[in-house]
Structure 1
Amino acid sequence: MSELVKALVLKPDISRPRWEQTTFEGRLRHFLTITNPLNLLVGDKQLSDYKNVVDNYKKGIFCEDLTVNGLWKAKHMAESAFHPSTGEKMLIIGRMSAQVPMNMAITGGMLTFYKSPAAVIFWQWLNQSFNAVVNYTNRSGDAGSMTQLLTSYCAATGGALGAALGLNAVVKSAPPLVGRLVPFVAVCVANSINIPMMRRQELTEGITLFDADGNELGKSKQVARSAIMQVVVSRIGMAAPTFVCIPVAMNSIVKTEWYKKRPHMAGPIQVLLAGLILLVSTPVGCALFPQMTPVNVSTLEPALAEQIRSRPNAPQVVFCNKGL
């Protein structure tokens, strides 16, 4: 049974994740709670109650019977539904907990209908539209974010369509498995365009660096490039298992007598496989790199490194929030 919060001398610090984020295991446990699709089943009233528990706890107010596990559950549920900056309830399909159910449907569609140009256009457009909703829902709230969102949306959609339609034309005479892998290439191209464009301000001005206490120390373009590349790798890492493993599996399934009698099952089979894989690949992809990425001061741009070293109690390691 979980301990009562009131019985603890040292109360839980819910301003930080529950598990140590310097280890892959800790990050994985954190993102398993954040991306859990069951979070979507929690009603509005219950979500508001969870948020009240968190808000009151930050003020030093909590019920006598509040347990440690209950407190952390309230934090995770509140974080899954309410924007961290504005406190507003997020669009349900834009929440991290909607990633698995939404992506399993979209991925299944892209993998099933990959031959017809009209179907390719529709599913790639739908995928980038969903990504735009996620980016909007989790926006930082700065004035330029909408312009960045629309620009990156158009560029990513164009890149994905160009890659998918172009490659489909090239691989028409190739083995079926090669054609089934085209949607994966299109997704990789889209992510490689979308994420840098959404964060191009960081590329031109630098990403903010912090010390261990959260104090701002300056901005680094060099670290921004590294952080954005990590996010691109994470996004592709989330998608790779579904877009690679499912085509390989389907290449064998379509040859079976069972499937030949039930060709209409292609869609449901791929949606189901996508869901099972995404339940694992989504939190794993998010956990590949630390959210607050450590950077040695000695590796920074010389002028910035010198600026940091000139501060009292200058740190040897600084941190940046790489994003998701």
Structure 2
Amino acid sequence: MEGNDDGSRLVSDVPKINIDKPRWDQTHYWGRARHFFTVTNPLNILKTSGELEEARQIVKSYKAGKEIPGLTVDQLWNAKQTYDSAFHPDTGEKQIIVGRMSAQVPMNMIITGGMLTWYKNPSTVIFWQWTNQSFNALVNYTNRSGASPITMQQLGLSYALATTAAMTTALGLNRTVKMFSPLIGRFVPFAAVAAANAFNIPLMRQKEIFSGIPVLDQDDNPIGESTVAAQEGIRNVVISRIFMAAPSMMGIPVVMNHLEKKGVLKRYPWANAPLQIVLCGVVLVFATPLCCALFPQMSSIAVTRLEQELQVPAWLLITSSF
């Protein structure tokens, strides 16, 4: 496996490295987690245009078989990870900053912090839920597949329904939970985000639901398209997205409710929003990659669960869970 090579060795001294695949073994959770820590590393958004172009040239040259004097294995992988953080994997186009995977943590810490801070007033609830779904739509558009692109109609429909689901859930639950403890009210934003994900992701992947995704046999030969496999893959995506939001949107309300009971927020009301945003950032730095890694991109499925015509020894190709 590529990740086992001594990183200090020159690439000219090791066998050809397949940099189109992740550096670490994706059949194990920690290997997937290490991969996604590099993919979602927020420091990558600080890379200059010059650094991004240098990384792009290294990746292009290595793939073309050109010799790069003095390049080590670690430098090659760092260039690949920098390249992946800014350029579309299919088209090679540079992505807008806020839509990149490396922008997930800084953008979500602000948005999640806003949802957790201003969760009572209907107007602020509407604003932050709309902002969250607008950001999700931008990320979906930026990272759309080059081979099977998302249509504007599909994107618009999922955006509208997810936004409606989030707002309806948040506003409806806010009215319902008034009779319960204040802590319960702080969990409403999480319920709204979970409801929106349940709508948004299946709508964005509806083509796969109806047409299926490729199923491969044990020798990586395609044997057909499976809607059963697609449904399982999409279910895994929904689960990982909800788990990703849970630590910050369930844990931080407990902390803030405790501070409120102790009178800290009353003495320092200005600290409410900044504290929640910072806490969200700390949690999301870890929750984002760790939850992206919950399910492998290439997963197996029991043959008996596939459609009748596909029931041969097979492996399932599941698209990315992020």
Question: Residue in 1 aligned with 2:181?
Answer: 175
Question: Residue in 2 aligned with 1:111?
Answer: 116
Question: Residue in 1 aligned with 2:43?
Answer: 38
The DSSP-based 3-state class of the residue aligned with 1:219 is strand
Please show how residues 236-255 of structure 1 align to structure 2 within 5 Å.
236-255=242-261
Structure-1-length-normalised TM-score = 0.94
Q: Does 1:280 pair with 2:277?
A: no
Question: Residue in 2 aligned with 1:96?
Answer: 101
Q: How far apart, in 2, do the equivalents of 1:166 and 1:146 lie?
A: 30
Q: Of the candidates 137, 143, 149, which is equivalent to residue 138 of structure 1?
A: 143
Report the Cα offset of residue 91 of structure 1.
1.2
Q: Does 1:318 pair with 2:315?
A: yes
Report the Cα offset of residue 17 of structure 1.
0.5
Q: Could you tell me which amino acid in structure 2 is paired with residue 317 of structure 1?
A: A
Q: How far apart, in 1, do the equivalents of 2:263 and 2:121 lie?
A: 25
CA RMSD of aligned residues (A): 1.4
Q: Could you tell me which amino acid in structure 2 is paired with residue 57 of structure 1?
A: Y
Q: Residues 142-170 of structure 1, C-alpha deviation per residue, up to 9 Å, x if partnerless? A: 45522211110000000000000000011
Give the 3 Å change call, closer, same or farther, for CA 213–76 of structure 1 in structure 2: farther
Q: Residues 111-157 of structure 1, C-alpha deviation per residue, up to 9 Å, x if partnerless? A: 00000000000000000000000000001144552221111000000
Q: Is the 1:53–1:62 contact (alpha carbons within 8 Å) kept by the matching residues of 2?
A: no
Q: How far apart, in 2, do the equivalents of 1:211 and 1:45 lie?
A: 43
Report the Cα offset of residue 24 of structure 1.
0.3
Question: Residue in 1 aligned with 2:157?
Answer: 151
**Count of residue pairs brought into register by the alignment:** 314
Q: How far apart, in 1, do the equivalents of 2:138 and 2:218 lie?
A: 33
Please show how residues 212-231 of structure 1 align to structure 2 within 5 Å.
214-231=220-237
For structure 1, the 5+ residue unaligned runs are 310-315
Q: Could you tell me which amino acid in structure 2 is paired with residue 140 of structure 1?
A: S
Q: How far apart, in 1, do the equivalents of 2:220 and 2:51 lie?
A: 32
Structure-2-length-normalised TM-score = 0.94
Please show how residues 58-137 of structure 1 align to structure 2 within 5 Å.
58-137=63-142
Of all paired residues, the percent bearing the same amino acid is 51
Report the Cα offset of residue 292 of structure 1.
1.6
Q: Is the 1:5–1:66 contact (alpha carbons within 8 Å) kept by the matching residues of 2?
A: yes
Q: Could you tell me which amino acid in structure 1 is paired with residue 59 of structure 2?
A: V
Q: Could you tell me which amino acid in structure 2 is paired with residue 19 of structure 1?
A: W
Q: How far apart, in 2, do the equivalents of 1:21 and 1:143 lie?
A: 26
For structure 2, the 5+ residue unaligned runs are 1-6
Q: Residues 13-61 of structure 1, C-alpha deviation per residue, up to 9 Å, x if partnerless? A: 1121100000001000000000000000111111111011111111111
Give the 3 Å change call, closer, same or farther, for CA 84–213 of structure 1 in structure 2: farther
The DSSP-based 3-state class of the residue aligned with 1:208 is strand
